[in-house]
Structure 1
Amino acid sequence: MKQLITLLAAGALSGTVAAALPQAPGGLCAERESVYFSCQTSLGRWIALCGTANDKIQYRFGTAGYIELAFPGPDGGRQVFRYAHYFRTGVDRMEVLFRNGGVDYAVFDYSERGRRTAGVRIASDSGREREFKCRGTIRNRLAELEGVLPCDQDSALNLGSCPAPSEQR
């Protein structure tokens, strides 16, 4: 377990928050923030993507009493995140991706044939990979970030349909 938390925080010391922010009930986003994604894992930790009125988005992981990882730091903006989405009849897959200190993160929500899987997948440059899956209630408004966040050129979910980088916001 300690190795797993180390992987989550690898290279992210600038994004680590020692104390929790004032939060709305049931998650890590503050009362005045938009909740783009929020769920609790089987380990009792929360996964969240929170947004502010000044176009900032932040990923948070931890408990209500202690946020273990907040990325980017308070001065960061949404430009560090990328968006991927695939949809066809019976299948809907969305991801918000970012990279922090040699670790790739993908906050995901997949639905296929009535089954839903959501959470965060992390992968280090050394090849270590882990998923934290949601249990219970999942709050998802990731679709609102399509067209707001840059399209992920490297994601197979986008099927090569990203606009040219010069056409993206």
Structure 2
Amino acid sequence: AMLIVPSLVWAGPSLCQPSEAVVFACHTKGGQWVSVCSGDAGLSYRFGTKQKTELELADPGIAHPDAFRHYHYFRAGVDRTWLTMQTPAAVYEVFSEYEAPSQPTAGVRVFDQSGRQLANRLCVGQAEAHWYRLEGKVACSDEAVNSCVPPVPLKQRP
């Protein structure tokens, strides 16, 4: 269901291509980059180094509209955003979370299909996050109190 793209070399403070807008990007303790990019072809999640992209997942769009799912929760002192990407082997969750008085955290978590966490890569320093670029483009997660703006179904578009 997901498109896995071969490795390419990227420039800039993310793994996004120059023609793509950064939705989320950060550098991890392990020396890799986590990037979510938005372009004409849709969304892409990329993980790796500037020299080698280790994993790329592209939003399959209409073919599998729930493969990428967005969650956003906000209230005074709390802001949580996740983008999950479902593959047959794992679920990848790019996140940024803040709950006062703690410091914000961001990164990517990987879960197996049963929900067991396999990896948690935290960002070093502050992540670049433009989550608003997902609004209306990605299916919303089923989580309670989700303020995500869902895409307009094709038959309801003007």
TM-score (norm. length: structure 1): 0.76
Contact 1:103–1:124 (CA<8 Å) still a contact in 2? Answer: yes
- Aligned residue for 1:83? 70
How far, CA to CA, are the matches of 1:52 and 1:162 in structure 2?
A: 20
Q: Aligned residue pairs: how many?
A: 148
Bigger CA drift: 88-97 or 114-123?
A: 114-123
CA 1:39–1:29 in structure 2 vs 1: closer, same or farther (change >3 Å)? same
- Aligned residue for 1:58? 44
Matches within 5 A, 1:16-31: 16-17=5-6, 19-21=7-9, 23-31=10-18
Contact 2:11–2:50 (CA<8 Å) still a contact in 1? Answer: no
Q: Which has the higher helix share?
A: 1
Matches within 5 A, 1:63-142: 63-72=49-58, 76-77=60-61, 79=65, 80-114=67-101, 115-125=103-113, 127-142=116-131
Gaps of 5+ in 1: 1-11
CA 1:86–1:162 in structure 2 vs 1: closer, same or farther (change >3 Å)? closer
Task: Indicate the SS of the match to 1:135.
Answer: coil
CA 1:16–1:157 in structure 2 vs 1: closer, same or farther (change >3 Å)? farther
How far, CA to CA, are the matches of 2:57 and 2:125 in structure 1?
A: 24
- Aligned residue for 1:152? 141
- Aligned residue for 2:4? 15
The amino acid that maps onto 2:15 is L
Contact 1:96–1:142 (CA<8 Å) still a contact in 2? Answer: no
Task: Indicate the SS of the match to 1:136.
Answer: coil
1:2-50, CA deviations, whole angstroms, 9 ceiling, x for partnerless residues?
Answer: xxxxxxxxxx8x5152x324x3312200111110000010000000001
Bigger CA drift: 125-134 or 26-35?
A: 125-134
How far, CA to CA, are the matches of 2:82 and 2:106 in structure 1?
A: 10
